[in-house]
């Protein structure tokens, strides 16, 4: 169905608009779409009236569901510059078209316009609903945005907290690693400082430990060091204050802020460099002052604390070394004083050597002695007191004196050792000793000997054969056990040589003591009989040479050789030199 209107006046335009609205309503066009169609058509008709001329409105309604098409074009088709205006709306149902003519009656027109306003009101109501819905959704969106912003803020705070936690963890890990490094350094440095019992060696090792990682330079000022060539050199004022007060001092042109350290003005000796002066304290006194210059501008606080602790450990090591050296000097003096002149006996030659250990506590309880009994017998003894140091040396002296006193009353080697055992057990219950005693009687071709926990004597016969006198010995002297130590005898031909020794000669950590005794037997057997008769002292040194080929020894060495002259008739007595301490 098609309807056409000619429009040249406002009334015609109104009537055409009313007819279009009625037709759209009859075709089932929704109110909102119908209002939009009417509004758009009114605007187009207003444009046409403004331009002037005659215009044609064409309505094409479908017979069923479809589209209602509206076309506005010039009526005379002469205005080519104005293209037709077209629009369309969907129709949901087919309806009979209303009367296409709208009367010119003003009341009818007014009623039609009011009807159009109803559609507009309905559209506005729908629009208000949509605006409310939009406002509702806008509020929802605002709340959502606020939630998103809050979530972002929480995520940002969580991220910031996580970054701070990571930074704190890295800092803690770095501090822990630094603490571990300092503790490892302290442990290693303590091991180095306590490995030596020479205080000069400890002082020499300090720069190797500290420079250049923890100090650019350092100086050790020891108060009672006679070997200190720099004792007359000037010392920083802070070092003097540290020595007087016993507190560490920091001399610089800025505060150090070091815990437990007093700040002082910069040193006049070196005003451009900070100095840390740490007293070397012991429980008894102040040994000296350790003065350090930092490797950079200043020290880290923890490094300064570590250096103070290292100085404390160094002072303990130096003090221990000095006390050890003092005791060692006393023990050496005592031990040297006990090296006696070996007696001269017709037909019997004696030679002895004592050598202190080359490492460790050099002074032990090794000792030897030889003396005559009232009946003319010669007693040769060698022994070893357990332990080292001054106490062992004093105990060795007491045993030597006690043995000489007991020997005045006579008695065999076994009886003398039994009395020494009782003496040591009651005098020093926690100290033990080993010993072997050999007795030579003039005109008696028999050697009597006894041993108490000591390595067995080695006997060389004139034909060069060597025999180890390993008959069952007694137990160590001084153990909490009652014992009677037995005597043993062996034939003694002229030209025989008896070797008494301590375990330091034959025992090495890498090899057992049996291997060392075999080496001694082989070395003694290789000696020439004529050499033993002519130069027993020289033979003693030549025996020690291969036995002490080791670069270092952990224990003292004592060797006593007793050689009977090879002549059937005893030779005239000849003087024997005093046994002296020799080092290989």
What's the mean pLDDT in 21-47?
A: 86
474 — phi, psi (to 5°)?
-80, 170
Cβ contacts of 195 within 8 Å, gap of 6 or more: none
pLDDT by residue (tens digit) across 187-208?
Answer: 999 998 888 888 889 999 999 8
Do 202 and 317 meet the contact criterion of CB atoms below 8 Å apart? yes
Give residue 69's Cα distance to chain centre. 94
Of 550 and 442, the structure prediction assigns the larger pLDDT to 442
| Number of separate helices (H) and strands (E) present in the chain | 12, 19
The DSSP line for 412-447 is -HHHHHHHHHHHHHHH-TT--EEEEEEEE-TT--EE
Q: What is the pLDDT of residue 98?
A: 55
Name which of 70-84, 129-143, 211-225, 351-365 the model is least confident about.
Answer: 351-365
pLDDT over 80 at 555, yes or no: no
pLDDT by residue (tens digit) across 271-314?
Answer: 888 999 999 998 878 899 999 998 888 888 888 898 999 999 99
DSSP β-bridge partners for residue 351: 561
Give the span between the Cα atoms of 318 and 320, in whole angstroms.
5
- First-to-final CA distance of the chain: 142
pLDDT over 70 at 163, yes or no: yes
What's the mean pLDDT in 218-244?
A: 78
The pairing of beta strand 248-251 with beta strand 275-281 = antiparallel
pLDDT by residue (tens digit) across 326-349?
Answer: 877 776 777 667 667 788 888 899
What's the mean pLDDT in 162-168?
A: 90
Do 279 and 247 meet the contact criterion of CB atoms below 8 Å apart? yes
Exposed, middle or buried by CB within 10 Å (0-12, 13-18, 19+), for 156? exposed
The 3-class SS string of 38-75 reads: HHHHHHHHHHHHHHCCCEEEEEECCCCCEEEEEEEEEC
Give the span between the Cα atoms of 177 and 104, in whole angstroms.
104
DSSP β-bridge partners for residue 490: 447
441 — phi, psi (to 5°)?
-110, 135
pLDDT over 80 at 2, yes or no: yes
The pairing of beta strand 364-372 with beta strand 378-388 = antiparallel
Residue 475's nearest CA partner among 428, 517, 413, 433 is 433
Query: What mean pLDDT, rounded, does the chain reach?
Result: 84
Tokens representing 486?
């037995």
The DSSP line for 162-187 is HHHHHHHHHHHHHHHHHHHHHHHHHH
How is the beta sheet containing 433-440 ordered, strand by strand?
A: 364-372, 378-388, 433-440, 446-452, 488-491
Cβ contacts of 496 within 8 Å, gap of 6 or more: 447, 459, 460, 461, 462, 563, 564
Backbone angle region of 355, left / alpha / beta, with phi > 0 → left and psi within -120 to 50 → alpha? beta
User: Which residue has tokens 């560490």?
Assistant: 248
**Sign of dihedral through CA atoms 116, 119, 120, 121?**
positive
Do 400 and 420 meet the contact criterion of CB atoms below 8 Å apart? no
Q: What is the pLDDT of residue 28?
A: 84
Residue 214's nearest CA partner among 257, 278, 171 is 278
Do 70 and 20 meet the contact criterion of CB atoms below 8 Å apart? yes
Helices 31-51 + 106-194 axis angle, to 10: 110
Q: What distances in angstroms separate CA 106 from CA 42, 111, 543, one per listed residue? A: 19, 8, 157
Percent of the chain with pLDDT over 90: 28
Q: What is the pLDDT of residue 577?
A: 39
pLDDT over 50 at 584, yes or no: no
Q: What distances in angstroms separate CA 227 from CA 192, 222, 323, one per listed residue? A: 22, 10, 16
Task: Using only the alpha carbons of the chain, give its radius of gyration.
Answer: 61
pLDDT over 70 at 552, yes or no: no
Q: What is the pLDDT of residue 110?
A: 66
What's the mean pLDDT in 439-454?
A: 92
pLDDT by residue (tens digit) across 398-445?
Answer: 888 999 999 999 899 999 999 999 999 888 888 899 999 999 998 888
Name which of 87-96, 133-142, 500-509, 516-525 the model is least confident about.
Answer: 87-96
What's the mean pLDDT in 527-546?
A: 89
pLDDT by residue (tens digit) across 232-262?
Answer: 578 899 999 999 999 999 999 888 888 889 9
The 3-class SS string of 300-321 reads: CHHHHHHHHHHHHHHHHHHHHH
pTM for the predicted model, two decimal places: 0.53
What are the structural domains of the chain? 2-102 (no CATH), 199-330 (3.30.450.40), 338-524+554-564 (3.60.40.10)
Q: What is the pLDDT of residue 387?
A: 75
Q: What is the pLDDT of residue 581?
A: 42
């Amino acid at each position: 169905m098609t309807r056409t209107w000619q429009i040249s006046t406002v009334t015609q335009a109104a009537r055409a608009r009313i007819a279009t609205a009625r037709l759209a309503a009859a075709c089932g066009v929704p109110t909102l779409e119908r209002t939009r169609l009417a509004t758009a058509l009114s605007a187009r008709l207003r444009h046409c009236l403004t331009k002037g001329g005659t215009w044609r409105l064409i309505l094409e309604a479908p017979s069923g569901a479809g589209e209602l098409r509206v076309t506005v074009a010039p009526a005379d088709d002469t205005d080519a510059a104005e293209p037709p205006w077209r629009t369309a709306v969907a129709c949901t149902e087919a309806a009979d078209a209303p009367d296409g003519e709208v009367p010119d009656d003003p009341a009818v027109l007014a009623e039609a316009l009011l009807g159009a306003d109803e559609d507009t009101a309905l559209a506005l109501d729908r629009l208000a609903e949509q605006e409310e819905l939009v406002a509702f959704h806008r509020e929802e969106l605002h709340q959502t945005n606020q939630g998103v912003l809050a979530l972002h803020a929480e995520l940002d705070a969580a991220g910031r907290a996580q970054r701070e936690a990571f930074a704190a963890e890295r800092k803690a890990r770095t501090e822990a690693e630094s603490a571990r490094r300092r503790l490892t350094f302290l442990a290693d440095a303590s091991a180095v400082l306590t490995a030596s019992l020479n205080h000069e060696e400890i002082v020499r090792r300090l720069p190797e430990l500290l420079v250049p990682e923890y100090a650019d330079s350092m100086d050790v000022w020891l108060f009672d060091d006679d070997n200190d060539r720099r004792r007359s050199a000037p010392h920083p004022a802070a070092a003097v204050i540290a020595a007087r007060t016993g507190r560490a001092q920091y001399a610089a042109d800025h505060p150090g802020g070091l815990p437990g350290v007093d700040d002082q003005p910069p040193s006049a000796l070196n005003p451009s460099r900070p100095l840390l002066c740490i007293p070397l304290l012991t429980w008894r006194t102040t040994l000296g002052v350790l003065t350090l210059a930092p490797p950079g501008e200043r020290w880290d606080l923890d490094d300064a604390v570590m250096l103070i602790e290292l100085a404390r450990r160094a002072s303990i090591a130096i003090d221990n070394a000095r006390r050890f050296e003092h005791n060692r000097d006393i023990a050496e003096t005592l031990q040297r004083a006990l090296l006696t002149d070996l007696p001269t006996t017709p037909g019997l030659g004696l030679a002895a050597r004592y050598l202190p250990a080359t490492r460790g506590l050099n002074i032990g309880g090794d000792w030897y002695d030889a003396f005559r009994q009232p009946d003319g017998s010669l007693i040769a003894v060698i022994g070893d007191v357990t332990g080292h140091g001054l106490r062992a040396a004093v105990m060795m002296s007491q045993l030597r004196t006690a043995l000489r006193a007991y020997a005045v009353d006579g008695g065999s080697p076994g009886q003398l050792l039994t009395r020494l055992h009782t003496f040591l057990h009651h005098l020093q219950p926690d100290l033990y000793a080993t010993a072997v005693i050999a007795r030579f009687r003039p005109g008696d071709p028999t050697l009597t000997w006894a041993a108490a926990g000591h390595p067995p004597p080695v006997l060389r016969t004139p034909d060069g054969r060597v025999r180890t006198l390993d008959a069952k010995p007694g137990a160590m002297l001084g153990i909490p056990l009652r014992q009677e130590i037995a005597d043993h005898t062996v034939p003694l031909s002229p030209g025989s040589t008896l070797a008494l020794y301590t375990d330091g000669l034959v025992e090495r950590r890498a090899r057992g003591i049996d291997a060392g005794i075999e080496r001694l037997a082989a070395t003694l057997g290789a000696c020439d009989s004529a050499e033993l008769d002519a130069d027993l002292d020289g033979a003693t040194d030549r025996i020690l040479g291969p036995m002490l080929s080791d670069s270092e020894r952990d224990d003292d060495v004592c060797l006593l050789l007793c050689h009977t002259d090879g002549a059937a008739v005893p030779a005239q007595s000849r003087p024997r030199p005093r046994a002296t301490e020799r080092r290989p």
